[in-house]
Structure formats: structure tokens, C-alpha cells
Amino acid sequence: MYGMKRRSLVTAAAGGVPAALVLASCSQGSSSGGQSSDVVTLNGDRADFTDAYGLAGAELEAITGYAIEPRNVPSTENYQQVVRSSLQTDSTTDLVKWWNGYRLQDLARSGGLADLSGQWDSAVDQGWVNPETRDSFSYDGKVYGIPMYKSYWVVFYNTGVFDQVGIAPPATWDEFEENNAKLRDAGVTPLFATQEAGWTSSIWFAEILSKLDPVFYADLMVGEAKYTDEPAQEAMRIWSGMYAEGYFTAADVAWDSEPSLLAKGEVAQVPMGTWRNGTFAEAGLGEADYSAFLLPTVHPDTAPSVIVESGSISVAENAPNKEAALETMANWLAPEVQQPWVDNIKDTSANPQVTTDDPILETVLEAVGAQEPTELVRYWEASPPALIEGGVQYLGAFMADPSESNIMPTLENLQTLADDEWAQWDAGS
Amino acid sequence: MALLEKQRTRAGEEGPRPAPRLSLLTKDRLAAAPFLLGAVALVAALLLVPFLATAYQSLTRDDGFTSSFIGFDNYLALLQDPTFGRSLLNTLLWTVGTLILPVGLGLLIAVLTNAVPGGRWLKYVFVLPYALSGTATAVIWGFILRSDGALNQAIEFFGGDASTSGWLLTWPTNTIVMIVASTWQATGVTVILFMIGLQAIPKEVVQAGELDGASGLRLFWHVVLPQLRPVTIVVVGMSIANSLRVFDLIWLLTKGGPGAASETLAVTMYRQTFILSDYGTGAAVAVILSVIVVGASWFYLRHQYKRG
């Protein structure tokens, strides 16, 4: 009896290894599982988009016959690994949510994405997308992503606090500085800034630099200017000066607490992409409680600019349902698909024909219409990913010690990193 | 392994049939082999194969899509990287800090609560945090340590001047406060282990010591502490291994920042691999970390058991 038990244990243990291997091989296919011909699968890192995917998918199904079946990996870091490891296998989803700019190029040059140039051209012909944004979704002359939404980087502000302090949204940089001083004197932290979430350390650097010299910003991002050049130094001096005035929250404030700090009026202004609009609404801010303005240029004679960000959707080269995926992307920007999509995610569409009834977004679009600012790619997507990820570390360290004496060491570190990473990037392409 | 083999040899020597000693031993070993096969296969499949794969990956430039063999370039680049030096230094700080704080405090709490009436209940106060996950601990300590957190609020409430630069924002303060946070959580298990050790000390030994005139610190140092030696070996060994691979607390509290100021090797490994998608360098850090963890544990345990 005892002996038998032992033998069966050994058998079980020996059997365990192949069983584990079988399990492992099963799990490989999990991201593609459940293929049915009338849906295309989409992988993403935004679980809060699930309802919106459903709404857009219903409209797409009416046009193409294919609905969207979304999967979500909640952590952006894990999501990127899942895509990197599955994109070139047959366990990829048909559609992949990604980022535009260099992040898209990074993926496209691996050969894992399908060419969407035809879908792009057809969208341009129908007036569904601004043809000037093509570069931001291209690699080596071909389009590999279709814009998911279009977020403008603006400054959200608490209208109640502005009324109490007796200030209005600034039209010039001087007014912006005056507002900040009044808010600080009234005991309200004027501006939100944190390096706690890593990437957030780039926000103020990019905002100030782009409002100081948009041409230099664009050059710096593509490696045609140096971090140690005078405009970057000037931007850092402005940033450091604002820290010295006590305008910012502590550099380790939790990024997640940003909506509630704005809602409670503890922080008056928050620089953020309009994609955050939905989160502010969820934090209890009613339509009358907050609004947004475009940050004015530092000097009145500087050309207006705005930082723009688009998520992108790409088709995997190995997509199990590739034809359906390509057809879905050809119709993604159709107004009847985009309208329910952006209404649900509370952001603006990349299709200029699609309107919004959200009062905050209307304010932003009015300002954009009036100022006609140059659109700049967000820092996060504007340079090779490894340069950005290293860069936000140096900027984060600067936020912890925003003294004048720390400006040049920070910029020198950034330039050394830029030299290395541009060399790596060029070697890889 | 070394210990097990030693015991087995002794058992063989003291056995009733000394003549065919060696051949029987070999036979015994051969007979035991099939029983070990399952476990060895599992260890090989789940530990050794991935380790060899990682070691190979560390010799490549790998971005997740394409991979090319570059020899020891990743290791050379790490040696020249000041961030990696800081990461090693922080790992050393964690190891030393974890040896002094959770082990020292654990012993102190175990001895004190063992001696005082009601100590049995008192010790649960210290043991309770051990039931929390590292993530929950990090979230709680995040509320306490951030610049707008509970600690600064308390300091200001009592009229003090709260640190303007932030507990988590400057090195080495951020590493030290995180070691304290880790201590809060990790002390529980050392208390439990030392309690077991204390309860296992034969009363006669302590009484004999007392009869010989020892009391207080002297009794503790010369009679109690030597009896706790086996437990101490385990506790210190565990602490070394735990401190070398600390990750969750740091990742959630500072992400290794600001900059890379509070990174340890485990965080560097994660950042290189999963943030920078530099799988080759990440694998190189993993290999270095594994060598340090296994090396330190092996050296410590071997040294201790030899002395024992």
C-alpha cells in the first residue's frame, strides 16, 4: 500500500513536467484565443476604454461586419512586454493599441506591423484626418498606425478657486505668473507637478520649453539641437525660478491624487492632456467646476504652439484575422465611429469633422481655432523610447533638487544620454 | 547539500556493516537516484534552464524583437555606468540595514516579550505587519512618507519644521526610510523565529547559568544567545537573501528615483528589462544579482555550519 503510494507519487511528479510544458504552451495562445470570424481582437492598456471600444465596435460592425473584442493589460509596462513578446507570433491580437512617434517607429521597424498607408490615404481623401500628422504615424515612408484620439496638452484649472482669488485664465505669460503669485498668497498651491509616476517629470520641461521656443523644442526632440543649448538652459531657469517662488506641489506627490487635489481646490492648475478629462469628471468635478486654457507663450512675439498626443491603433503583421483588421482600420476614423468613441472617452477625435459637446473640450477647441498653434509631438513620443525613459529620470532628479546650480549638470547628463541613445537608434535602423 | 552529505557519511560509518562500506554507499546512492529524478527534473526545468537562458541572453543585444551576440559588452557597459555603482551601493546599504534592524530588533522584541508578563500578546503587535504584502506595506508607507504625507503633517502639528526636500526625494534618506519601512514589515518573522528558538532552550541550561551566578545581560550573552545560534543562522541567511532581492517596496515608493538614486540591483534589472526594453543588459544585471545572492548565501551558510 505504502509502496504503491510512493510509486504513484513518482509517476505524478514525472508526469508533472510534461503537464507544465503543456500548460505553458496553452498559455501562449491565450492572447489570441476565442477567434471568431466576426470580431477583431484588440489589445490595450486602458481598461477604462472597454465601454468605448464596445460603442465604436458596434458602429464598425454595422459598416464592416466586424465588431471589436478588447483585451486589456492594466499595467502599461506589462502591456508593452506582452506586445513585444507576442507581436511576431501567431498569438498576437489583430489590433494593437500603441503610441505614435518614435514608440510606433520602434515597433514598426521590428517588422511586426502591417502597412496602413492605403487606409491612411483613404482617410485623408475623405477629410477624416489631418494629412500633416502623417509623419507621426509613419516609419520609413509607410504608415503603421491610425490615430486613436487627439489629446491637446492644456492647463486644467479649478474655476471656483480662480473666482475666489479673483483671477481669470491668463492670456500672457506675465498674467500666468501674476495668477500663480496670487494663488500662492491665498494659500493655494498654484501648479501640480510630480516626478512620482516617472514620466510625469517631462511635463513641465516640455510645456515651458515649447512655449519658450517651439522650433527649438521640435529640433531638440529629433536630435538636431542639444540639451545644453541656450533655449533649454533658459527653460530650466524659468522652471527653477517657479520652484523658488513656491508654485509647485512637492515632487513626490502621488500622481493618482492629482484629480482629487484639483477637485478639492488644494491645487489650482494642472497641466495635462485632454485624455485626462474623463478622470476629472469621475473625481467629482462638474462641468462648471473646472475648465482649461492653453498655456501662453513665454514671450508675446513667440509663435503659439500646443503639444499634441495621439494614441495609435496598429494592425499586427501576423494578425489571425488580418483582412478584417485592415478593413476595421480603414473605417476607424469614420465620423459615425468616432462620435460615440470620443463622447465616451471624453477626448477629442483626430477626425476634424467630429465635434464634441463637452464644454471643457469645446473651450480647448475654440482656443485652438482662435490661436491656430503649431502642433508639437509630446515629449513621450518625440524621441527614441530609451532616450525618453532615461531623460525623465534626469528631469525627475532635477525636480527633487530644482536649484540653479543643478541646471547644467542635469542638461549635461541629458545631452550625454541623447548622444548615446541617438547613436543606438541610428545603428538599429 | 554539504551538510546532508556529511550526515550521510557519518551514518554510513556508524552502520552495522562496515566491510563493504563504499560499494554499498554507491549502491545506496544509485538506488536513491530515481526518487530524486522528479525533483531534479523540476529544478532543472524551472530554475537551471531559465538561468542558462538568462546567462546567454546577457551576452546579447536584445530589444525583444531582434538579438545579436555581443560577448561581455553588457557587463563592461554596466561597470562603467555610475547608476549601476549607486545601485550596488544601495543594495549593500539594504543588506547591512536589514541585518542590523529586522534581525537586531527581532531578537530584542523576542527576548523582551518572552520575559515580561503579557508579552505573548504584545509580540502580536510586531508580528501583525508580517501578514501584509509588500505592496500593501508600500502603499501605507507612501501615505506616511510623501512630502504631503502623515509624517510631515505630524511634525508640523507638533510645531516642528517638516523636511522640505521630502523623505523620499534625497539620497541616502530615501533608502534609509525605505529600510525602516521594510523593517516594520519584516521584523515579525524574525520575532516568531527567535521566539521559537527561545522556547526551545532547555530550562536547565538557563537555571545552571543562574546557579553559576550569571544574570541579566551576562546570562543573555553567555547562555541564551549561544543557544539561539541555529535560529540566528536561519534568520540572518533569510535576511541576506531578502535584502538582496528587495523590489516591490522600492518600486512602489520611489520607482528607484528620483533619477536612479534609490535603485537596488533588483530595480535596475527591472528597469533595464521592462522599461528600457534592453533585455541583454537586464539579463546581465540578473546574472550579477544571482551570483551575489547565491554566493553570499553559500558563503554564509557554509561558514556558519562549519563553525557549528
Check A389 against B275: CB less than 8 A apart: yes
Write out chain A residues lying below 8 Å of B46, CB-based: 20
pTM here?
Answer: 0.85
> At a CB cut-off of 8 Å and minimum separation 6, what does A50 contact?
A70, A72
For residue B267, CA distances in Å to B91, B146, B246, B283 come to 10, 20, 8, 12
pLDDT recorded at residue A9: 38
Mean pLDDT across the stretch B114-121?
79
pLDDT recorded at residue A278: 83
pLDDT recorded at residue B9: 45
Name the residue among A85, A249, A397 with its Cβ closest to that of B257: A397
Mean pLDDT across the stretch A247-268?
94
**Pick from B224, B33, B7: nearest CA to B112:** B224
Give the mutation candidate from A6, A252, A429 for the B interface (greatest B CB count, under 10 A). Answer: A252
Task: Report the alpha-carbon angle A380-A383-A386, nearest 5.
Answer: 85
Asked if the bond preceding A352 is cis, omega within 30° of 0, the reply is: no
For residue B207, what is the DSSP state?
H
Mean pLDDT across the stretch A176-196?
96
pLDDT recorded at residue B122: 82
Look up cell 538561468; give the residue.
Answer: B51
The nearest alpha carbon in chain A to B168 belongs to A252
pLDDT recorded at residue A357: 86
Higher pLDDT, A330 or B203: A330
Dihedral sign, CA of A152, A157, A163, A169? negative
Q: Which of A8-22, A180-194, B126-140 has the highest mean pLDDT?
A: A180-194
pLDDT recorded at residue B118: 79
Question: By CB neighbour count within 10 A (0-12 exposed, 13-18 middle, 19+ buried), where does A140 fall?
Answer: exposed
Of the given ranges (A24-38, A354-368, B216-230), which has the lowest mean pLDDT? Answer: A24-38
Q: How far is B216 from B265, CA to CA, in rounded Å?
A: 42
Amino acid residing at B157: F
Look up cell 512586454; give the residue.
Answer: A81
pLDDT recorded at residue A235: 98
Q: How far is A295 from B104, CA to CA, in rounded Å?
A: 55
Of the given ranges (A139-153, A235-249, B141-155), which has the lowest mean pLDDT? Answer: B141-155
Check B65 against A110: CB less than 8 A apart: yes
Check B258 against A249: CB less than 8 A apart: no
**Pick from A81, A117, A56, A22: nearest CA to A330:** A117
Per the CB < 8 A criterion, the answer to whether A202 and A297 are in contact is no
Check A396 against B258: CB less than 8 A apart: yes
Indicate the pLDDT class of residue A370, thresholds 50, 70 and 90: very high
Indicate the pLDDT class of residue A24, thresholds 50, 70 and 90: very low
Task: Report the alpha-carbon angle A191-A192-A195, nearest 5.
Answer: 135
Write out chain B residues lying below 8 Å of A17, CB-based: 38, 41-42, 45
Instruction: Give me the percent of chain A exceeding a pLDDT of 90.
Output: 77
- Does residue B283 register a pLDDT over 60? yes
Find the helix or strand (DSSP H, E) in which A270 lies. Answer: strand A267-273
Number of H helices, E strands in chain B: 17, 2
pLDDT recorded at residue A353: 93
Neighbour tally for A55: CB within 10 Å = 17
pLDDT recorded at residue B24: 67
Q: How many CA atoms lie within 13 A of A68 on its CB side?
A: 32
pLDDT recorded at residue B308: 56
Check B258 against A399: CB less than 8 A apart: yes
Check A385 against B277: CB less than 8 A apart: yes
Give the mutation candidate from B65, B70, B177, B268 for the A interface (greatest A CB count, under 10 A). Answer: B65
Q: How far is A396 from A416, CA to CA, in rounded Å?
A: 17
Q: How far is B190 from chain A (nearest CA, A)?
A: 32
- What is the helix, strand, coil percentage profile of chain B, to 5? 75, 0, 20
Write out chain B residues lying below 8 Å of A105, CB-based: none
Write out chain A residues lying below 8 Å of B260, CB-based: 393
Mean pLDDT across the stretch A337-348?
93
Q: How far is A235 from A299, CA to CA, in rounded Å?
A: 12
pLDDT recorded at residue B21: 52
- Does residue B22 register a pLDDT over 60? no
At residue B305, φ and ψ (nearest 5 deg) are: -70, -35
Q: How far is B92 from B106, CA to CA, in rounded Å?
A: 21
Check B142 against A254: CB less than 8 A apart: yes
Q: How many whole angstroms from its chain centre is CA A102? A: 12
> At a CB cut-off of 8 Å and minimum separation 6, what does B38 contact?
A10, A13, A14, A16, A17
SS3 track for B235-256: HHHHHHHHHHCCCHHHHHHCCC
pLDDT recorded at residue B5: 44
Write out chain A residues lying below 8 Å of B35, CB-based: 10
- Does residue A284 register a pLDDT over 90? no
Indicate the pLDDT class of residue B162, thresholds 50, 70 and 90: confident
Q: How far is B264 from B244, CA to CA, in rounded Å?
A: 8
Check A397 against B278: CB less than 8 A apart: no
pLDDT recorded at residue B88: 94
- Does residue A18 register a pLDDT over 50? no
Per the CB < 8 A criterion, the answer to whether A353 and A127 are in contact is yes
Q: How far is A381 from A383, CA to CA, in rounded Å?
A: 6
Mean pLDDT across the stretch A396-423?
96
pLDDT recorded at residue B216: 82
Indicate the pLDDT class of residue B23, thresholds 50, 70 and 90: low
Q: How far is A68 from A52, CA to CA, in rounded Å?
A: 10
Mean pLDDT across the stretch B159-175?
84
Dihedral sign, CA of B50, B52, B58, B63? negative
Check B275 against A13: CB less than 8 A apart: no
Largest CA distance in chain A: 93
For residue B93, CA distances in Å to B78, B83, B147, B206 come to 19, 15, 23, 36
- Residue B47 touches partner A, C-beta closer than 8 Å: no
Indicate the pLDDT class of residue A160, thresholds 50, 70 and 90: very high
pLDDT recorded at residue B11: 43
For residue A406, what is the DSSP state?
G
Higher pLDDT, B141 or B6: B141
Task: Report the alpha-carbon angle B251-A196-B99, nearest 5.
Answer: 35
Mean pLDDT across the stretch A221-250?
97
Residue A134 cell numbers, joined: 502623417
The nearest alpha carbon in chain A to B65 belongs to A110
Check A84 against B37: CB less than 8 A apart: no
Residue B92 cell numbers, joined: 549593500
- Does residue A340 register a pLDDT over 90? yes
Average pLDDT of every residue of chain A: 89
Give the mutation candidate from B139, B276, B278, B281 for the A interface (greatest A CB count, under 10 A). Answer: B276
CA distance between the termini of chain A = 66
Q: How far is A103 from chain B (nearest CA, A)?
A: 12
Q: What is the pLDDT of residues B120-150, one digit of tens each?
A: 788 888 888 988 888 899 999 999 999 888 9
Mean pLDDT across the stretch A23-52?
68
Per the CB < 8 A criterion, the answer to whether A399 and A387 are in contact is no
Give the residue numbers in A contacting B (CB under 8 Å), as ranges.
10, 13-14, 16-17, 20, 77-78, 80-81, 84-85, 87-88, 110-112, 195-198, 249-254, 385-386, 389-390, 393-394, 396-397, 399-401, 428
For residue A280, CA distances in Å to A260, A261, A311, A346 come to 8, 10, 19, 10
Q: How far is B278 from B66, CA to CA, in rounded Å?
A: 11
Give the mutation candidate from B139, B169, B247 for the A interface (greatest A CB count, under 10 A). Answer: B169
Of the given ranges (A32-41, A55-64, A65-74, B215-224), which has the lowest mean pLDDT? Answer: A32-41
Of the given ranges (A40-44, A127-131, A136-140, B145-149), which has the lowest mean pLDDT? Answer: B145-149
Indicate the pLDDT class of residue A38, thresholds 50, 70 and 90: confident
Asked if the bond preceding B129 is cis, omega within 30° of 0, the reply is: no
Write out chain B residues lying below 8 Å of A78, CB-based: 274
Mean pLDDT across the stretch A260-275?
95
Look up cell 491603433; give the residue.
Answer: A313
Cβ contacts below 8 Å, chain A against chain B, sum to 100
- Does residue A92 register a pLDDT over 90? yes
Per the CB < 8 A criterion, the answer to whether A58 and A67 are in contact is yes
Mean pLDDT across the stretch B179-187?
92
**Pick from A192, A236, A180: nearest CA to A213:** A236
Task: Report the alpha-carbon angle A357-A360-A365, nearest 5.
Answer: 80
The nearest alpha carbon in chain B to A255 belongs to B146
pLDDT recorded at residue B4: 42
For residue A277, CA distances in Å to A44, A115, A156, A201, A218 come to 19, 32, 9, 20, 26
- Does residue B91 register a pLDDT over 90? yes
Residues 108-167 of B with CB under 8 A from A: 142, 146-148, 165-166
- Does residue A31 register a pLDDT over 70? no
Mean pLDDT across the stretch B263-283?
92
Residue A345 cell numbers, joined: 472617452
Check B259 against A385: CB less than 8 A apart: no
Q: Backbone dihedral region of A425: left (phi > 0), alpha (psi from -120 to 50 degrees) or beta?
A: alpha
Q: What is the pLDDT of residues B202-218, one digit of tens each?
A: 989 888 988 888 888 88
pLDDT recorded at residue A1: 35
Grouping H, G, I as helix, E, B as strand and the rest as coil, residue B122 is helix
Check B37 against A14: CB less than 8 A apart: yes
Mean pLDDT across the stretch A353-366?
92
The nearest alpha carbon in chain A to B68 belongs to A428
Amino acid residing at A19: A
Check B64 against A85: CB less than 8 A apart: yes
Average pLDDT of every residue of chain B: 86
Name the residue among A84, A252, A396 with its Cβ closest to that of B166: A252
Per the CB < 8 A criterion, the answer to whether A114 and A344 are in contact is no
Q: What is the pLDDT of residues B48-64, one digit of tens each?
A: 999 999 999 999 998 87
Mean pLDDT across the stretch A142-155?
96
Q: How far is B63 from chain A (nearest CA, A)?
A: 9
pLDDT recorded at residue B6: 44
Q: What is the pLDDT of residues A66-84, one digit of tens each?
A: 999 999 988 887 898 899 8
Q: How many whole angstroms from its chain centre is CA B76? A: 27
**Pick from B291, B279, B292: nearest CA to B74:** B279
